[in-house]
Structure 1
Amino acid sequence: MGRRTRARRGTTATALLAAALTASLAAGCTGTGGSPDDGRGSPQRSPRTSPQESSPKPPRTVPPVLAVKLDNAPDARPHAGVDAADVVYVEQVEGGLSRLMAVYATGLPDAVGPVRSARESDLELLRQFHRPVLAFSGAQSKLLPVIDRAPLEARTPAEAPGAYFRGGDRPAPHNLYLRPGRLLPSAPGPEALTTGFHYGPAPAGGTPESSRTVRYPAARFTFTWSGSEGRWLVAMDGTPAVTPEGGRVTAATVVVQYVTVRASAYRDFLGSNSPYTETVGSGTAQVLRDGRAHDVRWKRATAAGGTAFTTGDGTPVNFAGGPVWVVLVKAP
């Protein structure tokens, strides 16, 4: 959660990252560079016992998704594997900066990263899935017992060292990567995406939208419609988001969801409060698809349920097939 320098990644940088990831995977390395970062600059704790819940676990009826918490500092880009995610959540963290949470169900890339620390808000957001696997580098010390009690499978480098490696292309903490295949034997499939999203033909109405920028106090995201690709091109802090190989990161649907962002009970090592993003409740949102913007309502009645996006008369709003980016931003 240190302060970020401006990313200057060109074709050479992306090629170096791709080569570094390939070499690390081929070598089967578990990484170098010391203890993985837990968001406080301190070593990881020892592996925990299986997470406990305050209530009995329901029978497993849906396979778990894989959720990976991603660094989003300029020095952490380009991201590996984010283009393969089914859903990418964007949330505000300390200092007005941002982090990503990538959710995988229909496919698992070879590598994902850089991986960083979890936040309290992540636990509420992940309750919509049945015991998801959460990959993260660590967390604030007072939050760790809360994560232990959450209905999810926490997998840090301390608990699954063979699933992580350090890339040699950049310094720690921006070089920790995950091999998803070491945590899940296979992709769980679309039935694991219990988000409440509806997919299908575009809704009627809406207004033409060629570009939308969403701002945090110290970060911004821009989504630009590409008719030739039939996707929204993602940019972060004014720089196009690309894969390590240089391809553009895109979204089929973008949701700008207005939520309550309040102070949490936790602070980082600098004393900055960690924002808590509330995803249970209701409010307004815009759904961007097919070059048009649709004003909608969102509602998530309980943490265990998904989020419904509807028109004023309660009709579900269909998303386009493909990656969905949900940008959680403070309501005006």
Structure 2
Amino acid sequence: MAAERRRSPRQKRPGAAVTVLLCAVTTAGLYGCAGSGAPEPAPTSTSDGRSPFTGLPARAAPVLAVKIDNVPPARPHTGLGAADLVYVEQVEGGQTRLLAVYSGDLPERIGPVRSARESDIELLRQFGRPALAYSGSQTALKPLLKAAPLDALPPEDAPGAYLRDRSRAAPHNLYVRPGRALAAAPDAENAKDIGFRFGPAPTGGEAVNERTVRFPASRYTFTWAPAEKGWLVAMDGRPARTTDEGPVTASTVVVQYVTIRSSRFHDVLGSVSPYTETVGSGSAVVLRDGRAHEARWSRPTAADGTAFTTPSGEPLNFAPGHIWVVLAPRG
């Protein structure tokens, strides 16, 4: 098991003060700062030694996305704390699932793994050709996943990459070994620019200690922890923890307001699957350094990354570290 754990030489969690200080200085030079004119382009790979997903030191490595179960029986998660980037997506019944994105920093296992949705295809297009680990999907969706520009890795196509934890109840007990998953996806592309910019925070913003985002049947609360230099994540009123790394934190939280409509698919109970539209534009709120900044997001096509700007149109820098993007329903 230990042989499968691939750690990049990047810094520790955003909680370490030395990490924040180093990144605030070096990343600003690489990516530019809000209010200082047009920023330099972000790298299209990690050849410069920094991840385009986190702004932290990292080596070039393929992208693995994992669809993670998030109903209460699926918690605590495993491997979630190592994710560069976590998306929160609405699914049937107003519940949510997580799409965690990794590149280079791979834990021993990740999960519990659950099924993919049509929205994932559009969301992942900006990553080029990533690998996607998931378990099952609607039958009519399978051809779309196979035809999409990604390496689809359900258990039937990569059986050696998955295992069941018999101490937990099915279906919340399937886990993926990321090293083995990527070995089954030789065409998965390395991390590239998806629109994020890192550096000093924009001026202004509102001081906040806590922000809650609600879905019809779940809620997420992000609480600023000055000692950690990050946001503590809570799900449905309970602090989020992982089995391998403890509390879940994020350096930057993006609440991206999107259109969530009905798709043409449904689950086994007949509930219509929501479709989260991530191409287009709209409003957002970016939480970093204990402040909330109003923002705009724009993604012209599925192949484009998502740009976040201040109301005046300047690039809005994220704090280097792990990022959470909550794809919240428009008001």
Q: For the superposition of Structure 1 and Structure 2, which TM-score range results when normalised by the shorter chain?
A: 0.7 to 0.9
Letter in 2 for 1:134: L
| Match of residue 164 from structure 1 | 162
Q: What whole-Å deviation, never above 9, does each CA across 1:102-133 have from its counterpart, x for those lacking one?
A: 00014111110000000000000000012100
| Match of residue 326 from structure 1 | 325
Output the TM-score relative to the length of structure 1. Answer: 0.79
| Match of residue 96 from structure 2 | 98
Aligned Cα RMSD in Å? 2.1
Supply the distance in 1 between the matched residues of 2:275 and 2:244 (Cα, whole angstroms): 34
Matches within 5 A, 1:119-158: 119-158=117-156
Q: What whole-Å deviation, never above 9, does each CA across 1:119-167 have from its counterpart, x for those lacking one?
A: 0000000000121000000100011011111000000110111100001
CA-CA distance at 1:64 after TM superposition: 3.5
Supply the distance in 1 between the matched residues of 2:97 and 2:285 (Cα, whole angstroms): 21
| Match of residue 115 from structure 2 | 117
With 126-135 and 239-248 compared, the bigger mean Cα shift is at 239-248
Contact 1:86–1:106 (CA under 8 A) maintained in structure 2: no
| Match of residue 280 from structure 1 | 279
Supply the distance in 1 between the matched residues of 2:105 and 2:209 (Cα, whole angstroms): 29
Letter in 2 for 1:178: V
Matches within 5 A, 1:45-124: 64-124=62-122
Supply the distance in 2 between the matched residues of 1:170 and 1:271 (Cα, whole angstroms): 27
Letter in 1 for 2:69: D
Contact 1:214–1:220 (CA under 8 A) maintained in structure 2: yes
CA-CA distance at 1:94 after TM superposition: 0.2
Letter in 1 for 2:263: S
| Match of residue 293 from structure 2 | 294
Change (3 A) 1:299 1:171: same
With 176-185 and 247-256 compared, the bigger mean Cα shift is at 176-185
Contact 2:61–2:103 (CA under 8 A) maintained in structure 1: no
Contact 1:105–1:193 (CA under 8 A) maintained in structure 2: no
Letter in 2 for 1:206: G
Matches within 5 A, 1:189-228: 192-228=191-227
Supply the distance in 2 between the matched residues of 1:246 and 1:199 (Cα, whole angstroms): 25
4+ residue stretches of structure 1 with deviation over 4 A? none
Supply the distance in 2 between the matched residues of 1:308 and 1:264 (Cα, whole angstroms): 25
Output the TM-score relative to the length of structure 2. Answer: 0.79
Q: What is the percentage of aligned positions where both structures have the same residue?
A: 63
Supply the distance in 1 between the matched residues of 2:199 and 2:245 (Cα, whole angstroms): 30
Contact 2:232–2:247 (CA under 8 A) maintained in structure 1: yes
Supply the distance in 1 between the matched residues of 2:122 and 2:286 (Cα, whole angstroms): 22
Q: Secondary structure at the match of 1:192?
A: coil
Gaps of 5+ in 2: 5-46, 48-59
Gaps of 5+ in 1: 1-24, 29-60
Change (3 A) 1:326 1:194: same
Change (3 A) 1:64 1:226: same
Letter in 1 for 2:123: L
Supply the distance in 2 between the matched residues of 1:230 and 1:280 (Cα, whole angstroms): 31
Supply the distance in 1 between the matched residues of 2:244 and 2:137 (Cα, whole angstroms): 30
Supply the distance in 1 between the matched residues of 2:148 and 2:206 (Cα, whole angstroms): 41
User: How many residue pairs get matched?
Assistant: 274
Supply the distance in 1 between the matched residues of 2:204 and 2:262 (Cα, whole angstroms): 37
Letter in 1 for 2:206: T
| Match of residue 181 from structure 2 | 183
